[in-house]
Amino acid sequence: MSSDQAGHRARPALAGLLDEATRLLGGDDPARVADLLHEAVLGGLDPDDTTVLRSVIGLVRALNDSSVEDGAVPLPRSGLQPVADRALVVTVNQDGTIAIAPDALHDVLGYPVSAVPPRSIGDLVHPHDRPALQRAFASLAAAPGSQVQVDARVRHADGRWLVLAISMVNLLETTGINAVVAHGHNVTEKRAADRALAVERARLRELVLHLAGGVVVDDGYRVLLDNTAFDRIFRPGRAVTGATVAELLDLIASECADPVLAWETLDRMVRSGTVHRAVRLALAGGRVATCDLVPLRASSSMGTLWYFRDITRESVARSELEETNRALEEAANLKSRFVATVSHELRTPLTAVLAFAEMLEDCPDPLSAQQAAHLAVISRNANRLLRLVDDLLLLSRLETNQLSMSFTDIDVADLVAKATENHVPIGARAGISVTASVGTGPRIHGDPARLTQVLDNVLTNALKFTTTGGAVRVSAKADQASWTIAISDTGIGVPAADLPGLFEAFTRASNAGAAGIPGSGLGLSICKQIVAVHQGAMTIESTEGVGTTVRVTLPAGPGADDAEVDTGRQADGGNGIGEGIGTGGMGRR
């Protein structure tokens, strides 16, 4: 029997033999493959044909080893039957006809074993993929012994299109074969995963490229990606992608003011394998950058993400702001020292003036009416100046947290009642009624003298700005959390435009000056700060020409023994700060 006759007889069964051999080889059963070849010889293939078949099977095994994917093929959706994870081996004759083992056609593409196999590969391939497959086949046919690989969509029996990775080998001039052997493996899921991964990588790359900060991504050895912001910061003058991590360190360090220190710092960061945030890098030319270093990990190290930001402007602005704050703090301290010094120096001569005025009043020789009037003016204005000096000293100590307070349990109802009683006679002399409505409630923890000072100031203001025939009403109500003390009057009120700044030092209502009512504008400012030390709040509501209501809210607290509470590092050292307490001695609104 000639070789051509043997090849003609062998060709119809060759595809089935190759497919079965491929399946067995996929299960790594070479002994069974040897048995298969022996059965082929017994079935009529001569030794030469068996040798050719053995060579083809060796080639198929190599292709199978390189293309089989890890893991099983996932089950398809919509209840469709799974696609077998096996290869489809096809022999393509010179005239374009094909031979396929029926069981492989059934297992891979779902066609019944009894179905008439297609005569041309084009009957199964997607129309859009046929040109590429034909070009690959033509290129293969022109080079005996060569092989090519191409992806093509092949129709499944249920209508799906499966992607097969098809490897074709030119055996047209091989005796006994005289055909092209095509080995196809289902890679539908893998190609879909590859496309999804490519999309995600493209999205990630676009994100990285458009970040405002400089970004570099490496795989632990070489740079995989960098963006234009990194180029702007470090001006490498060459492509960074592809450079080694060591070269990247050299590039960054070369732009730093101290290259050696920068290189050592970055090298330690990389070797540590931990996250580093906002590491400052002093760059040449006075520029400043920060670096975030984030190791990328999954089951093992995957490299590093570098993120750089040029913070030169922010750094300069921060330095200028810190310098401005230092200057303002120094000015505030200087002002406080100046106020304290001047106030202290003023207090001594004022005390002497008042002392000698009292001595003149007690002089055994009677004063004339004119002398007595002049002496009264001296005493009145000296006392006014003394109160102003005391207020300035008190405000200075409050602002610098140097005012000591004695905290103890306080009966708020009793405190409010007594403060109101002290002002009833003053109101009566001016023709103003002063009434109080005080409820019951929990005790609070605070300094009774300072809180009395607050109530005295507000009550004095209410009387001072209320005309004859008016009224001042005091109410104190409590709940479980706090006390609210409200002092209302029917006085001249405060213009709406003046209300926001009324608690600032040296600020008075515009209509108070117009009415010729004296005051320093310190009283409410001092009161609010005292209330704040007690963790309370102070508000004011007013309508010009109708009246004013001042509310003081004080939190209820647990009882405690008497305690010295220092608002700063120093206690009240004397200097007459407390002499006006409880006497209404603060400057008024």
Same structural domain, 450 and 545: yes
Domain boundary among 203, 226, 245: 203
In a domain, 161, yes or no: yes
Mean pLDDT of the 276-298 span: 89
284-298, 379-393, 566-580 — which is least confidently predicted? 566-580
pLDDT-based confidence at residue 582 (cuts at 50, 70, 90): very low
Mean pLDDT across the chain? 77
Same structural domain, 424 and 548: yes
User: At residue 323, what is the residue type?
Assistant: E
Domain boundary among 376, 400, 424: 400
Q: Which residue has the higher pLDDT, 226 or 35?
A: 226
In a domain, 456, yes or no: yes
pTM for the model stands at: 0.42
Mean pLDDT of the 27-31 span: 53
Same structural domain, 416 and 542: yes
Same structural domain, 231 and 268: yes
Same structural domain, 214 and 328: no
Same structural domain, 123 and 259: no
* Residue 129 clears pLDDT 80, i.e. is over it: yes
CA atoms within 13 A on the CB side of 426: 16
In a domain, 264, yes or no: yes
* Per-residue pLDDT at 258: 94
Q: Which residue has the higher pLDDT, 269 or 30?
A: 269
pLDDT-based confidence at residue 55 (cuts at 50, 70, 90): low
Provide the CATH number for the domain around residue 479.
3.30.565.10
Dihedral angle sign, alpha carbons of residues 170, 173, 174, 177: positive
In a domain, 579, yes or no: no
Same structural domain, 363 and 310: no
Mean pLDDT of the 548-570 span: 64
Mean pLDDT of the 533-550 span: 92
Q: Name residue 181's beta-bridge partners.
A: 91, 169
Same structural domain, 160 and 264: no
In a domain, 106, yes or no: yes
Same structural domain, 485 and 539: yes
In a domain, 444, yes or no: yes
CA pair distance 365, 48, nearest whole angstrom: 156
| 567, 398 Cβ separation under 8 angstroms | yes
Same structural domain, 547 and 415: yes
- Three-state DSSP class for residue 559: coil
Edge-to-edge strand ranges of the sheet holding 301-310: 223-226, 214-218, 301-310, 288-297, 276-282
In a domain, 562, yes or no: no
Q: How many domains does the chain have?
A: 4
In a domain, 229, yes or no: yes
pLDDT-based confidence at residue 444 (cuts at 50, 70, 90): very high
The per-residue pLDDT for range 169-217, each reduced to its tens digit, is 888 776 666 778 888 888 898 898 888 888 877 787 787 777 778 888 8
Give how far the C-alpha of residue 386 lies from the chain's centroid of Cα atoms, to the nearest Å.
55
Q: What residues make up the domain containing 269?
A: 204-315
Q: Which residue has the higher pLDDT, 287 or 398?
A: 287
Same structural domain, 281 and 369: no
Same structural domain, 441 and 522: yes
264-278, 324-338, 381-395 — which is least confidently predicted? 381-395
